[in-house]
Amino acid sequence: MVLAVAAALDQRRLSLLVFVSTVFLISAPLSAASAPWTFWPPAPARGDEGCLSWRVMVEANNAKNWRTVPAPCIPYVYNYMSPVWGQYARDVASAVDQMLAYAGTDTAADNGLDAWVLDVDDTCLSNLPYYQANHFGGVGHRGESSVEFKSAMRRRLEEEEGYRIRGNVGDQWSDLQGHSTGDRVFKVPNPMYFVP
């Protein structure tokens, strides 16, 4: 009987040790060479770095020609973009809800030439894993001019191929500005980089 109780206590201690070790390993910071994901979100910076205001200015297109996430805001963008606790997925879902509501009220022409323009990167396909590994655009990312190129492509769709652009969806204001933008534009969030 004493041996059974001792074995049960050892089993409990072993279970507790495994549990504590697992929690420690999950919540410990990962090495710099691995993806920057941890179990718990990093604590916010002590001072007000203005990162929420910076992101709002970026999304409203009031911050022009910025190239990288300001260094003090990298943890903020990390938390915002996190698939576990971030606001990004909810913001994208809200934009998609608006797009679907608009598309549901749209009456297509009989000629089959109504079109929606979808920016592919970070709109239809997520670059989140790439940016997680590269500090969310905080270092070394350079944008390229694209308003003229995208306008020309949309204009070609309309004028040369006869399409009518009903909706235009993009993560950059350069996706949504210029000529032939369509009947309605929808901006999805992207605080990681700016494409002028």
What is the structure's pLDDT at 120?
A: 67
Q: Which residue type is seen at 47?
A: G
Domains of the chain: 67-196 (3.40.50.1000)
Sign of torsion over alpha carbons 193, 84, 47, 92: positive
Q: What pLDDT digit, counting tens, does each position of 92-111 carry?
A: 899 999 999 998 887 788 88
Helix, strand, coil distribution of the chain in percent, nearest 5: 45, 10, 45
Q: How confident is the model at residue 77 (pLDDT cuts 50, 70, 90)?
A: confident
Q: What's the rounded Cα separation, in Å, for the pair 123 and 67?
A: 19
127 compared with 4, residue with greater pLDDT: 127
Angle, helices 51-59 vs 74-81, to 10°: value is 60
| 166 phi and psi angles, rounded to 5 deg | -90, -35
Q: What pLDDT digit, counting tens, does each position of 150-182 carry?
A: 888 889 889 999 999 999 998 888 889 999 999
Do you know the residue count of the chain? Answer: 196
Both tokens of residue 59?
Answer: 């999304």
What is the structure's pLDDT at 8?
A: 41
